[in-house]
A = this chain, B = another copy of it.
Amino acid sequence: MPVRLDRSSSDFADRFAAFLATKREVSADIENATRAIVNDVAARGDLALIEATRKFDRLDLDASRLRITPAEIDAAVKACDAVTLEALTFARDRIESFHRQQLPKDMRFTDAQGVELGWRWSAIDAVGLYVPGGTAAYPSSVLMNAVPARVAGVERVVMVVPSPDGKLNPLVLAAAHLGGVSEIYRVGGAQAVAALAYGTATIAPVAKIVGPGNAYVAAAKRLVFGKVGIDMIAGPSEVLVIADRTGNAGWIAADLLAQAEHDASAQSILITDDAALADDVERAVETQLKTLPRAQIARASWDDFGAIILVNKLDDAVALANAIAAEHLEIMTSDPEAFSLKVRNAGAIFLGPHTPEAIGDYVGGSNHVLPTARSARFSSGLGVLDFMKRTSILKCGPDQLRALGPAAMTLGKAEGLDAHARSVGLRLNLP
């Protein structure tokens, strides 16, 4: 049974705080093991990568077999079902259109003193994309990571994907092909992250690594952070549905279960001001669970981390939603647009009854890589800007240096940095 909270009960504040503090992930102590793998690949390159792949993926490779060939990719594409390929292409096109809107503009302006200021955006040269193997191999995630990188203008998009026992999902390779990935290597785990960060004889290093992975991958990304850029560390997925009496219980239940089926650590939350709707949703969840293929996972998630929170009035849900800072927020109220304007912390908002989150997962066009575990309080979903960087530009002539220089000299001296002051003073003939 999910937890049930009532905002009007006297112990609500404590129970809500405890609910927010619930840890959904066990963080095993794997840092030392990960560090050993990363250091080994940094030191011994391909050899260490091949040994780790033999050990963890039970796959014997030599350096020439690390890279997946164009012929193998073609074969994978041909092995895919035509309708699925068409849906992937449809998704790719929509993701590309949406992300094109995110391309930033350069800026250049001259201020009142005549100083020229501004900045220029440019793409990162090379990006690594980690794709998990096995059951968590989602072709849609390949698109969500690769397409924004290509839209940003990244020239080398290098994908790594483990193939345990030699098995690879053809749809993942098809998505890489559609997404414009430049190179694919059949390696995974901490060893693949290390290869991307440090480079090996076969895999040239990249400047940033993105994409989800298991705890070893996350730990490896943390370790190489600084040497290369990384995206956020993804946690288990979550949805918050806010509904009033206009909500359709069956649809809401379906959305809560769509989240819950991801992972036993996923979290589905309903906040409503309608106790009858809450009951109806809870019943509908039970009914729908009966015929769900991944019922066992969804059941575990719903029982362990699910929640239904009753509020007296819908406005009380605003503060709760901002505290929860959900990765996905569905609003099914009489005026979803107006309500959404009050919410500051959410990865993505899905407005109205006809926007189930699954649309955003696949074909909406916006990115499904979104901040989890309350990190929407301080971070954003993946986007084109994550594959670019900004160089600022400053240009003074002699007049501008005369106008700005004395203040810079004052501050340099105040900070005990006389060479700073001197670099200005020399040009102005000032002591």
Contacts and interface: CB of A to CB of B under 8 A. Distances in A.
A363 B122 contact: no
A101 B107 contact: yes
Contacts of A262: 417
Interface string A338-355: 001001111111111111
A91 B407 contact: yes
Contact of A360 (B351, B360, B394): B394
Contacts of A261: 417-420
Nearest to A344: B122
B396 A258 contact: no
Contact of A229 (B292, B375, B406): B375
Interface residues of A, number: 125
Contact of A427 (B251, B378, B405): B251
What copy number does this chain have within its complex? 2
A277 interface: no
Contacts of A377: 124-125, 207, 389
Ordered nearest first, which 4 A-B pairs have the shortest CB separation?
A: A229-B378, A351-B395, A380-B390, A87-B407
Interface of A: 81, 83-84, 86-88, 90-91, 94, 97-98, 101, 107, 109, 111, 115-117, 119, 122-125, 135, 138-140, 171, 207-208, 222, 225-226, 228-229, 233, 235, 250-251, 254-255, 257-258, 260-262, 288, 292-294, 298, 322, 336-337, 340, 343-367, 370-371, 373, 375-381, 383, 385, 389-398, 400-401, 404-408, 410-412, 414-424, 426-427
